[in-house]
Amino acid sequence: MKRRGEEKAVADSSFWAVCLVVVPLSAAIACFLRPSLGTPVGLVVSGLNGGAVFFLIRGLLSSGPGWYQLGGWQLPVGISLRMDGLSVLMTAMTAVTGGAVSLYAGGYFSLRIGIARNSRRHEQRKRFFWPLWLILWAGLNGLFLSADFFNIYVTLEIVGLCAAILTALSGKSASRIAAMRYLLVGLLGSCSFLLGVALLYRSHGVLDMATVGRLATPSPLLWAALALLTAGLMMKSALFPLHFWLPSAHANALAPVSAILSGLVIKASLYLLLRLWGDIFAHLLPFSAYVILGSLGGAAMIWGAAQALLQQRLKMLIAYSTVAQIGSILIALPLIHLDGDISARQAAVFLVLSHAFAKSAMFLAAGAIFLHAGHDRIEDLSGIKEQLPTAAFACVVAGVSLIGLPPSAGFIGKWLLLAVAFRSGHWWWGIMLVTGSLLSGAYIYRVVCPLLTFKSPFPYKNQDVPWIMEWSALFLAVLAMVMGLFAAYPLGLLEGGTPFFAGLGAAL
């Protein structure tokens, strides 16, 4: 009887996993056909995705990780979906962040901006934003749930192409140039990733990730494949020194698009790096390889923070801070290799969640400030809290989480990594993390001072901002803060199905 209940739970989970891909895709088609339905359809999809993730979590807690083979084709031939702790947690992150961004976008595109010509351009942006965003959302869900390399390549391409087009939606020459650079780097990264997938198939004859991880043995072909896969993901995640395309793309995109790019799109590549280096090939790779990636992460923290300190525009500062925060997540990789349990893996995923919520909140708040003030020059934002108190507070709270101050989620993630670093005797990784946090505090301080400075009346006012835009940003910022108080729940969820190919025999 218990076995029958578990089978039913797995079947239910597979249904909701498929819904997370099919529903946004179907809604995107509806938005293309009827552009006027974009906002209501987008909000409905946000609710449906949230419900589907809830049932996925319930299925994971009741029956453990589940596998689903599309079309009935069994492993290792068929396309499979895997619902384990990490994949479900990433879809939950996407649902929460995507829901807040969709609410924000509903308010953003309800505005009447400028003269008639600008209003028409704004309507065109709205027409294309919703279908592209929903396709990207479906691609993210498919990527997080996919269990074979080729399906991951396809979804990675969908996410990258939609992200590049969304970057160009603002219509400014700077955004179009940034979008073209984004597209070219993304295509180069995709080619590298696809070549790596081809070498894996040449070596093992299968593309199922768990089977490849189980069959893989050290060989020059495997090292070449993994190098190509990693290089492609480094380009797409903007890991130093391949970060040159990110700041201009994130800073010049529309406000909701900036939040999507930094909060969600970057996480797709980071998720795959964690899968490859933290789970699938972790038993094969030498520690020296992890040291290289961790060192690049440390360099990214220093370079990104230094550039953020030099910026005069709020959105550009936030964009460069993304480069630094990516580095802090990559430092977790050598600690994952050293750690005997899953503390370092938990910390890395917790930092990913924290960054997704906090960075999306900062970009959403910065977008509201830009619309209200007509600019985002940091030195000229003194007194903005008198007119946009919620947005200013959201930006400050999100910054606290990025620094890693208690009780934020960022603090929990960095604390766990520090514990692993000093427990393993590799204390220098902990010193890097502390240095990165201090540098984060320095550039966040540059933002906090003008946002909390009293100056009445505020000399700039472009237009009023809908309340939903400010409160969407505040919701994500507060979530990034209070998630540290309830860390046991996501960390406990993460334990389901770690490492990636645990329990493969039962699935087969």
Instruction: Give residue-wise pLDDT tens across range 173-223.
Output: 888 898 999 999 989 999 999 999 999 888 888 888 878 878 878 888 889
pLDDT of residue 74: 61
Query: How many of the other CB atoms lie within 10 Å of CB of 485?
Result: 12
Query: How many of the other CB atoms lie within 10 Å of CB of 267?
Result: 26
Burial of 198 (0-12, 13-18, 19+ CB in 10 A): middle
pLDDT of residue 241: 84
When pLDDT is averaged across residues 424-437 and rounded to a whole number, the result is 86
3-class DSSP assignment, residue 189 = helix
**What mean pLDDT, rounded, does the chain reach?**
83
Residue 77: band (very low, low, confident or very high) from pLDDT cuts 50, 70, 90: low
Structure tokens at 362: 């900062």
Cis check: omega of the bond before 247, within 30 degrees of 0: no
Range scoring the smallest mean pLDDT among 7-16, 62-71, 369-378: 7-16
- Rounded-to-integer distance, Cα 136 and Cα 191, Å: 20
Structure tokens at 234: 């480094």
Residue 505: band (very low, low, confident or very high) from pLDDT cuts 50, 70, 90: very low
3-class DSSP assignment, residue 81 = strand
3-class DSSP assignment, residue 431 = helix
When pLDDT is averaged across residues 125-144 and rounded to a whole number, the result is 92
The pLDDT > 70 percentage for the chain reads 87
Q: How far is CA 288 from CA 284, 295, 337, in A?
A: 12, 10, 10
Structural domain boundaries of the chain? Answer: 286-499
When pLDDT is averaged across residues 269-279 and rounded to a whole number, the result is 88
Q: What's phi and psi for 283, nearest 5 deg?
A: -80, -5
pLDDT per position as a tens digit, 382-410: 777 778 888 889 999 999 888 888 888 88
pLDDT per position as a tens digit, 362-387: 999 999 888 888 778 888 787 777 78
In terms of Cα–Cα distance, which of 191, 167, 187 is closest to 177?
A: 167
Whether residue 435 is predicted with pLDDT greater than 50 in this model: the reply is yes
pLDDT of residue 81: 80
467-482 helix and 409-424 helix, angle to the nearest 10 degrees: 30
Whether residue 21 is predicted with pLDDT greater than 80 in this model: the reply is yes
pLDDT per position as a tens digit, 135-144: 999 999 999 9
Structure tokens at 265: 């799109």
pLDDT of residue 99: 94
Amino acid 309 reads L
In terms of Cα–Cα distance, which of 278, 280, 289 is closest to 336?
A: 278
In terms of Cα–Cα distance, which of 169, 166, 142 is closest to 154?
A: 142
Residue 501: band (very low, low, confident or very high) from pLDDT cuts 50, 70, 90: very low
Whether residue 78 is predicted with pLDDT greater than 90 in this model: the reply is no
Sequence-distant (6+) residues with CB within 8 A of 266 are: 237, 238, 246, 322, 326
pLDDT of residue 493: 79
Whether residue 476 is predicted with pLDDT greater than 70 in this model: the reply is yes
Q: Which residue has the tokens 């490859």?
A: 276
When pLDDT is averaged across residues 497-504 and rounded to a whole number, the result is 43
The larger pLDDT score, comparing residue 471 to residue 505, is at: 471
Whether residue 38 is predicted with pLDDT greater than 90 in this model: the reply is no
Sequence-distant (6+) residues with CB within 8 A of 89 are: 349, 353, 490, 493, 494
Q: 92 near 350, Cβ under 8 Å?
A: no
pLDDT of residue 115: 41
pLDDT of residue 506: 35
Structure tokens at 293: 């990636």
Burial of 302 (0-12, 13-18, 19+ CB in 10 A): middle
Range scoring the smallest mean pLDDT among 5-19, 120-134, 289-303, 416-430: 5-19
Whether residue 117 is predicted with pLDDT greater than 80 in this model: the reply is no
Query: How many of the other CB atoms lie within 10 Å of CB of 372?
Result: 21
**Separation of CA 222 from chain center:** 28
Whether residue 357 is predicted with pLDDT greater than 90 in this model: the reply is yes
Give the pTM: 0.90
Burial of 452 (0-12, 13-18, 19+ CB in 10 A): middle
Residue 507: band (very low, low, confident or very high) from pLDDT cuts 50, 70, 90: very low
